[in-house]
Amino acid sequence: MNVLIIHAHPEPKSFTAALRDQALETLQAQGHTVQVSDLYAMNWNPVAGADDFSSREDPEYLVYALEQRLGVKKQSIAADIQQELDKLLWADLLILNFPIFWFSAPAMLKGWIDRVLVSGVCYGGKRFYDQGGLRGKKALVSVTLGGREHMFGEGAIHGPLEDMLRPILRGTLAYVGLDVLPPFVAWHVPYITQEARQDFLRDYEQRLIHLADDQPLVFPRLNQFDDALYPLA
């Protein structure tokens, strides 16, 4: 299996980085081929804009998704985007590895999503959810956060963690056709003992070893809707 890890944490010694390293070691030991895009180390440009195209269909007005679609065909899309897109298309499994910032992903990762999930390749028209351009591939989100597990869930102070991750799990990964596996979560990591951190790493190792046993999360399928995307009775 080909695996692409997108790592987004500004501190190289962070526990999020330890999860990245655990994934790399575990997956390679199983015989998988792994590439890592460390966005901060790469000094990745997270800003989508006109500079992402060496030539434009419409130089007067930027419709980013349209220019993406045409840019890939005309090979006018920025080289850093093309390199990441090539990795994404190569991968059988995509792992997004990041800390929760303000109930969401770091801006660096959001910028990777904005620029690399290219219209016309990853999605477009009715090519979304089970008909998305990346169907047949899998995705796993691994996250760290400062909150304790009891702070998240129905009736908890912060509500369900799934609500925070919905824009990524559903609105991004499932939308482009990926089979989205349940996320791996390391809770309260800035404040726990080294022993507790090692427990999380061992749990993650076991999760990665047994990924084939994971059942993907359930999201809409286009055959549940009519041509106008109203739900079928």
Structure tokens at 52: 């992402």
Half-sphere CA count of 219, side-chain side, radius 13 A: 25
Percentage of residues in the chain with pLDDT exceeding 90?
99
What is the dihedral angle through the alpha carbons of 14, 209, 212, 179, rounded to the nearest 10 degrees?
10
Helix (H) or strand (E) holding 215: none
Over residues 120-147, the pLDDT tens digits come to 999 999 999 999 999 999 999 999 999 9
**Is residue 137 helix, strand or coil?**
coil
Would the pLDDT of 11 be above 90?
yes
Angle subtended at Cα 231 by Cα 230 and Cα 233, rounded to the nearest 5 degrees: 125
Over residues 16-52, the pLDDT tens digits come to 999 999 999 999 999 999 999 999 999 999 999 999 9
CATH code for the part of the protein at 2-224 = 3.40.50.360
CB neighbours of 164 closer than 8 A, spacing ≥ 6? Answer: 100, 103, 104, 158
- Across 15-47, b (16+ Cβ under 10 Å) vs e yields bbbbbbebbbebbeeeebebebbbbeeeebbbe
**pLDDT, the chain, mean:** 96
CA distance 200 to 198: 5
Confidence of residue 233 (pLDDT cuts 50, 70, 90): confident
Over residues 70-116, the pLDDT tens digits come to 999 999 999 999 999 999 999 999 999 999 999 999 999 999 999 99
What residue ranges do the domains of the chain occupy?
Answer: 2-224
Provide the β-strand partners of residue 93: 3, 138
Q: How far apart, in Å, are the Cα atoms of 67 and each of 18, 44, 50, 84, 199?
A: 38, 20, 9, 17, 46
Instruction: Check: pTM over 0.75? Answer yes or no.
Output: yes
Confidence of residue 216 (pLDDT cuts 50, 70, 90): very high
